[in-house]
Structure 1
Amino acid sequence: MTQVYTKNSITLLAAIAMGTGVMIGAGIFALTGQIAELAGPLFPLSFVVGAIVTAFSAYTYVKMSNAFPSSGGIAMILQKAYGPTTVAAGAALLMTLSMVISESLVARTFGTYAMRALGREADSILVPVLGVGLIVFAYLVNISGSRAVGLLSIVMAALKVGGITLFGAAGLWASGITFEASVGEAGATGFVASVALSILAFKGFTTITNSGAEVTNPHQNVGRAIVASIAICVVVYLLVAFAVGSSLSLDRIVAAKDYALAEAAEPALGKTGFYLTVALALVATASGLIASVFAVSRMLTMLTDMKMIPHSHFGMPGTIKDHTLVYTVVIAGFLTVFFDLSRIASLGALFYLVMDIIIHIGVFRHLRHDIKARGWVLLTAIALDAVVLMVFAVSKWQSDPLIVILGLTFMALVFLFERVFLARHPIPKIQHNQHK
């Protein structure tokens, strides 16, 4: 690659912290209420099923990262599976867009919780303003370098995991370990559709994949960090889901879906608990955004170095990596201003699941023997993703058809754009056979 990365700058602990940082930032604070809206009283179980589907998907990423650790790792996986083709470039760009969408999701969540602390409504115009401010802060931290991101991720991850665990335990204890959200409808279609958002809550593990070349002992530690971060998050998610369900009825969770944890904290823990939960949400979303911006900028740099996307510095000084940081925060800021939390989450889930299926198919067809992967695991991952994607798309078509139309349109434009770009700027043949 043309960019210089600092090898061994991210320790195993820092890699785990980055993965959990991105997941907890989006998964708990932004998605718990939306998952409950779809899954009904079974919403804690949705996190379990989402973790199972994610575990099958993570198998591919662990195997590929152990064999070929790389910064911008998902782009590397796609190129090795498909070569420098429209499919590889389009799917990589979809993943990048999914990650940027998640950044805007987290940024709006930050603004929403901040407004609740001030006694303002979640639809205040200040929500996107605060979200954009957080994105700018994440940019400033990222230009400080990999070590700064890694150190901040460790500190904030410790605060988040410890604080959220205490919130869950205290909430359960205060409520007498009852489950107030047990009353409500639970349809099979809604539950399966909710799993798409649960998967989105776990997809932050790809942050580790996209920083592989900078992790110490990457052939082993990238996989270890992915497994550890998913395991930590499923425990935290379940604890918090039961705590929220013990404090609020299902109707109240859905009504406060954009700030469900803050709403659940007050009846269980009082006003002090409410403010502590809001503070925890602000820390969690901030650290998650910082880690996500770090990973997305690496992936965009990888795509640029692979000649899969165009690049212009627009008169800016610095390296391609510096420029991609700017592109990342500008796009995330735009989405934060113009989309609400529900639609942001839906778009992110659609893009991610499509990209994930493309990766598994490519690895199954071309690389599974090279990386010694079990074919049945890859096929199971494809099947699970496909079922969840179809049910989620049908559910959204019934409730919000515009978001399905937008998703399909954006995906078609991405692949059309890549087809035209690669036709005009063909990539030189790589030196070795990618499909040996």
Structure 2
Amino acid sequence: MQGAAPKVYLSLWNVIALGIGSMVGAGIFALMGQATLMAGKNVYWSFLIGGVAALLSGYTYARLGSRYPGSGGIMDYFNKGFSHKTLAGALTLIYLGTLVITVALVAKSFGAYASRLFLPDESVTVFTTGLFSSIAILLLGALNMGGVKAVGKSEVVLVAFKLLILTILMLASFGSSVPVGADVIPVKGLDGLLGSVGLTFFAFAGYGMMANTAGNLQNPARTLPRAIFLAIGVVMVLYLVLSYVVLTNVSASSLDKHAETAVAQAAFPVLGVWGFVAVSVAALIATASAINATMFSMLDISRGLARNGQLNAMFKQPFWGRGTQGFFYLLLGILVLTNAFNLVAIANLAGACFLISYLAVFVAHWRLRKETHGNALLIIAGFVLMLSILAAFFYQMFFSQPYLIPLIVLFVAGCFILEIVIRKKIGPKGA
């Protein structure tokens, strides 16, 4: 039609940047310290196992995204893979809720790095961390409302800068051997290793959000698989190398004290104060880009659910730019979560819910494998590995934070109850 604006497509590098931005922000800077506390020197194996699970799951996402190239991503896969619409809708709500928790987690990490960078240690408080976190949520929420083009371009710049800083840190670490004395990070037992894989897999979980870009790709069947595998591969190598950097340059006591900012702490012995500053800046950029990418998926999924009648109409009513009124209220909810809970609790909640959601994607792919031409052995292998990771994760939580298990059960049950209520309002036509 004459006068219609041409559709703006994301490039391969835009999508890779969105994936790396989400994974690295949530993984290295937010969770490296916590994973190392649990696994000790076995954290290498933890990231390797998590990466293999991500590659197998990434295969499923690539096949589904190529066959069903829409902006709905996981929502479309559930709707097509499960004939029972209440089940499909509840699983989508679980995933949407997980994205909200994820933004709160990464925003908490952003606030921790910002507080240590801009304030003296004695001035860092829960209030200052929450203030910096809240500013990031509001600014990046506004950016996502600005449009697809703004998000794609911003991710390329953000990812390029933080990878440059991390590369300098890695090269400097390999060129210098700095002993940490007798206070070294120990080798933990098998239970610590297996329990930590739930966190390290969550550090890769951003690849799933890349599937939501399929509706904004000119050739999704070609671009999406390449983007997913390249992003996971780059991030796996990065995690393994930075694990070495942290284990080599951070003492056990320092890790225990500064677990939330472990990567920046590792820069002190190698690059001094200016290295700490540079890595902290990279951490702020990394966590900001993770929030950015996660919000991108959150906005698309909530709008799609509203179009299907699975969420209130306010999630499709315009607010500002491409944002909706419902998205604005989700931002307010994220602000509450970020300021009400600590990082470890949020990380465990998000990790468990991500594993549940991604297990369901394997089941959906199994049911759709003839349409996607998916390899049955890869689907089964991925499902079994991820189920094992989830079981080990719950085992670890039972002994370390048992109160989180009923919270997870309540969250999942609440999503099913909400979906049942919504389906009753829609009536037989929508069910």
**Structure-2-length-normalised TM-score:** 0.93
2:108 alignment counterpart: 108
Q: Give distance in 1, aligned partners of 2:99 and 2:20.
A: 15
Query: In the alignment, is the contact (CA less than 8 A) between 1:181 and 1:246 conserved in 2?
Result: no
User: CA deviation digits over 1:215-271, x for unaligned, max 9?
Assistant: 231121111111111111111111211111110123432332111012111122111
Query: In the alignment, is the contact (CA less than 8 A) between 1:313 and 1:323 conserved in 2?
Result: yes
Q: Give distance in 1, aligned partners of 2:352 and 2:82.
A: 21
Provide the secondary structure at the position in 1 that maps to 2:121.
coil
User: CA deviation digits over 1:331-382, x for unaligned, max 9?
Assistant: 2211111111101110001111111111211221x21111111111111111
Instruction: Tell me the amino acid that sits aligned with residue 107 of structure 1.
Output: A
Query: In the alignment, is the contact (CA less than 8 A) between 2:40 and 2:186 conserved in 1?
Result: yes
**Change in 2 beyond 3 A, CA 1:237/1:375:** same
1:391 alignment counterpart: 392
Query: In the alignment, is the contact (CA less than 8 A) between 1:313 and 1:320 conserved in 2?
Result: no
What 5-or-longer segments of structure 2 have no aligned partner? none
Query: In the alignment, is the contact (CA less than 8 A) between 1:301 and 1:321 conserved in 2?
Result: no
**Change in 2 beyond 3 A, CA 1:110/1:378:** same
Query: In the alignment, is the contact (CA less than 8 A) between 1:5 and 1:213 conserved in 2?
Result: no
**Change in 2 beyond 3 A, CA 1:293/1:427:** farther
1:36 alignment counterpart: 36
What 5-or-longer segments of structure 1 have no aligned partner? 431-436
2:422 alignment counterpart: 421
Shift of 1:275: 0.8
Query: In the alignment, is the contact (CA less than 8 A) between 2:74 and 2:212 conserved in 1?
Result: yes
Which sits farther off after the overlay, 194-203 or 259-268?
259-268
Instruction: Tell me the amino acid that sits aligned with residue 204 of structure 1.
Output: G
Shift of 1:175: 2.4
Q: How many residues get paired?
A: 426
2:231 alignment counterpart: 229
2:307 alignment counterpart: 305
1:262 alignment counterpart: 264
1:434 alignment counterpart: none
Q: How does 1:119-130 map to 2 (within 5 A)?
A: 119-120=120-121, 123-130=125-132
**Change in 2 beyond 3 A, CA 1:63/1:252:** same
1:240 alignment counterpart: 242
Shift of 1:5: 11
Q: Give distance in 1, aligned partners of 2:5 and 2:406.
A: 39
1:433 alignment counterpart: none
User: CA deviation digits over 1:90-123, x for unaligned, max 9?
Assistant: 1111111112211111111111011111223664
1:78 alignment counterpart: 78
**Change in 2 beyond 3 A, CA 1:181/1:75:** farther
**Change in 2 beyond 3 A, CA 1:183/1:240:** closer
Q: Give distance in 2, aligned partners of 1:179 and 1:412.
A: 49
The two structures, once aligned, show a CA RMSD in angstroms of: 2.4
Provide the secondary structure at the position in 1 that maps to 2:406.
helix
1:347 alignment counterpart: 349
Q: Give distance in 1, aligned partners of 2:382 and 2:238.
A: 24
Provide the secondary structure at the position in 1 that maps to 2:126.
coil
Instruction: Tell me the amino acid that sits aligned with residue 188 of structure 2.
Output: A
**Structure-1-length-normalised TM-score:** 0.92
Query: In the alignment, is the contact (CA less than 8 A) between 2:315 and 2:324 conserved in 1?
Result: no
Shift of 1:179: 11
Which sits farther off after the overlay, 310-319 or 220-229?
310-319
Q: How does 1:194-205 map to 2 (within 5 A)?
A: 194-205=196-207
Instruction: Tell me the amino acid that sits aligned with residue 330 of structure 2.
Output: T
Instruction: Tell me the amino acid that sits aligned with residue 32 of structure 1.
Output: M
**Change in 2 beyond 3 A, CA 1:149/1:85:** same
Shift of 1:322: 2.1
Q: Give distance in 2, aligned partners of 1:251 and 1:291.
A: 34
1:376 aligns with 2:377: yes
Provide the secondary structure at the position in 1 that maps to 2:370.
coil
User: CA deviation digits over 1:13-59, x for unaligned, max 9?
Assistant: 10100110111111100100110111121112211111001111111
Which sits farther off after the overlay, 80-89 or 107-116?
80-89
Identity of aligned residues (%): 28
Shift of 1:429: 6.6
Shift of 1:12: 0.8
**Change in 2 beyond 3 A, CA 1:422/1:254:** same
Q: Give distance in 2, aligned partners of 1:49 and 1:279.
A: 29
**Change in 2 beyond 3 A, CA 1:291/1:315:** closer
